[in-house]
Amino acid sequence: MDPVVKEYLFFKRMISPIIIQVFFWIGFVIAIIAGIWSMFTLGFINGLMILIFAPIILRISSEMGILLFRINENLVTIKNSLTKSS
């Protein structure tokens, strides 16, 4: 069995960071479309605020989710390096 597939099957490697990135890009496109649409329906300033702040908020929340998985990966790397050295 391929080692990469084995890592995913035995939960040694997480797929959630990939899914978070996909949701970020989908949300980013939706935020841009909503911002442009809002410029014409809710007013230029409201649409501009959505256009500016929605992608920023989306990016920050995505980074917060991915941060948890990066911390986990770093802890696993530290654990593996400690077990190899001892």
Which helix (DSSP H) or strand (DSSP E) does residue 31 occupy?
helix 16-41
What the block records as the tokens of 82 is 């400690």
For the chain, the domain total comes to 1
Higher-pLDDT residue of 85 and 62 is 62
Q: Which domain does 42 fall in, by range? A: 3-85
> What pTM was estimated for this model as a whole?
0.76
pLDDT of residue 86: 67
Q: How far apart are CA 64 and CA 57, in angstroms?
A: 11
Q: How many CB atoms lie within 10 A of CB 27?
A: 18
pLDDT in tens, 27-59: 999 999 999 999 999 999 999 999 999 999 999
Cβ neighbors of 47 (< 8 A, separation 6 or more) are: 35, 36, 37, 38, 39, 40, 41
